[in-house]
Amino acid sequence: MDVSGLVDTATGRQSRAIYSSEELYRQELERIFGRCWLFLVHTSQIPEAGDYFRTFMGEDDVIVIRQKDGTIKAFLNSCTHRGNRICRSDRGNAKAFTCNYHGWSFAPDGSLSAVPLEKEAYFGELDRSRLGLVPVAHVAEYKGLVFGCFDADPPSLEDYLGDAKFFLDVWLDAMPGGTSLVGETQKMVLASNWKLPVENVCGDGYHLGWAHAGAMRAVQSLDLAGLSVGNSSTDLDGGLSVAGLNGHMALTSLDGVSGYAFYPKPKPMLDYLEFNRPQVIERLGKVRGEQLWGSQINITIFPNLQFLPGLNWFRVYHPKGPGQIEQWTWAMVENDMPAEIQAAILDNQCLTFGLAGLFDNDDGDNLAACTEQSRGWRTAQMDVFTNMALNRSGPREGFPGDIAAGLVSEHNQRYFYRRWQEHMQADNWAGVPTYNINSVVAEETIDA
């Protein structure tokens, strides 16, 4: 389906049909979720051989398994006999995956290892070598984050992430011990189109002082770029909206501490930041060590991975039709953090952006209602707008990307819908443009 008229990046207009059309949704499964690198698992979640973790790539159910040699493989969670789900638990350790229906058994490397009555019922004519689990075409890791890709010929994961690595490393590589996801997967079903929470977190600082005003009053302990008491006090110098990173985005404050703005007792975290900042500056350079590490940063990896260093939540959105998602959230910690800080992070993540989190409930209601208001015969013909601060972006020294000043802008959302449109229009990766605008990665990095 031609989507050229459904999104106009130049004016910041989107048709509401993109949130409700079943036809467009099927096209998204093919051209976005079937083509892009998608987050599968953090290496900390499957440390040992035989450890597995079940997730989704689009609507495809996938098992990610640590192999004997330490590598990670992923397979469709579907029996090659008659299609049944072969793994029904969320995670664990297994020597084999045996299908509930007729008992075919698959080894962790995906091979079909046993078939009941193979000789008697198949007369020895079954070619087991052709009936292994279907592998995900590509699996690759970036500093603990494991991604999979169904496309036969995608860009490398490194190239796909591009300059977004500048921001990813503020969390993944600030401290030598790396990171872990802690706690179990917090799953929430929400009656929202998948694009709405992604564009909310990727760039919508606008709603923060309004939709979350009550929550912020209840838990905020530090100022967040002037957003603490409503939109009227917004400080455009207090943050950046960064896009133009191959479809990825960052929304960041620049004070080096406000990631901990929503902690009832931020002092232990602030002490941790202060104590370790010199070595982070050494690893990542001054811009990131002083201005970004410890700041509130919303990082979006297109299409459906988001994490917020500072608030320390990590989330993927699994689409379940045009009007529904499963939102999976974890708390993310640096392994060098003392245990009591890690525990406080998990607590605070649940308090703010968890199943009963103050902020998540504000957002969920708005996102579900925006989705519902795109489903009617008449409303589906209407448009919505992300036209704030049009044509007010540019480079900024020390940072990659096309940057608009401030946390309150719709700059990032326009880039998100631009990327969506680029993928939806392209037949394959060759038709998808690559852009790392104002690339500066490396100058100050340890791995330059």
Among all residues, whose Cβ is closest to Fe ion? 363
Contacts of 33 (CB under 8 A, 6+ apart): 57, 58, 59, 60, 150, 303, 304, 319
Tokens of 404: 């608009």
Judge whether 163 counts as a catalytic residue: no
Does position 128 interact with ligand FES (CB under 6 A)? The reply is: no
Binder among 13, 29, 81, 183 for ligand FES (CB under 6 A):
81
First to last CA, the chain: 43
Site string for ligand FES, 90-109 (x = CB under 6 A): ---------x-xxxx-----
Residue 328 amino acid letter: W
Residue 42 appears among annotated catalytic residues: no
CB 219 within 8 A of CB 83: no
Catalytic residue list contains 204: yes
Q: What is the 3-state secondary structure (H, E, C) of 328-397?
A: EEEEEEECCCCHHHHHHHHHHHHHHHCCCCHHHHHHHHHHHHHHHCCCCCCHHHCEEECCCCCCCEEEEC
Alpha-carbon separation of residue 37 from 58, 71, 380 (angstroms):
11, 18, 30
**Residue 363 partner contact from ligand FES, Fe ion, none using kind-dependent CB cut-offs of 5 to 8 Å:** Fe ion
Active site residue 363: yes
Q: Which CB atom, from 201 or from 280, has the smaller least distance to Fe ion?
A: 201
Among 10, 23, 26, 82, binds ligand FES (CB under 6 A): 82
Q: Kindly state the helix (H) or strand (E) to which residue 251 belongs, with its residue range.
A: strand 248-253
Tell me if 385 contacts ligand FES by CB under 6 A.
Answer: no
Beta-ladder partners of 243 = 402
Say which entry of ligand FES, Fe ion, none residue 85 contacts (CB below 5 to 8 A, set by partner kind): none
CA separation for the pair 34, 19 (Å, rounded) = 19
CB 248 within 8 A of CB 434: no
* Beta-bridge mates of residue 182: 331
63 binds ligand FES (CB under 6 A): no
Q: Is 102 part of the annotated catalytic residue set?
A: yes
Q: For residues 116 and 433, which CB has a smaller minimum distance to ligand FES in the complex?
A: 116
81, 109, 151, 207: which is the annotated catalytic residue? 207
Nearer to Fe ion among residue 199 and residue 363 (C-beta): 363
Q: Which is nearer to ligand FES, 82 or 88 (CB)?
A: 82
Nearer to ligand FES, 44 or 98 (CB): 98
Given the residues 51, 204, 360, 402, select the one marked as catalytic: 204
Q: What amino acid occupies position 209?
A: G
For the bound state, the minimum distance from the C-beta of residue 333 to Fe ion, rounded and expressed in Å, comes to: 22
- Residue 314 contacts which entry, ligand FES, Fe ion, none (Cβ below 5-8 A, type-dependent): none
Q: Which of 51, 60, 173, 363 is catalytic?
A: 363
Establish whether the linkage from the previous residue to 278 is cis, with ω within 30° of 0.
no
Among ligand FES, Fe ion, none, the one that 79 touches (CB under a kind-dependent 5 to 8 A) is ligand FES
Contact footprint for Fe ion (CB under 5 A): 363
At 27, is the secondary structure helix, strand, or coil?
helix
- For the record, the structure tokens of 40 come out as 């599968």
**Residue 207, interface with ligand FES (CB under 6 A)?**
no
Asked if 84 touches ligand FES (CB under 6 A), the answer is: yes
Q: CB of residue 96 vs ligand FES: minimum separation in angstroms?
A: 13
Question: Among residues 126 and 281, whose Cβ is nearest to ligand FES?
Answer: 126
* Residue 352 burial (CB count, 10 A): 22
Interface ranges with ligand FES (CB under 6 A): 79, 81-82, 84, 99, 101-104
Residues with a catalytic annotation lie at 102, 204, 207, 212, 363
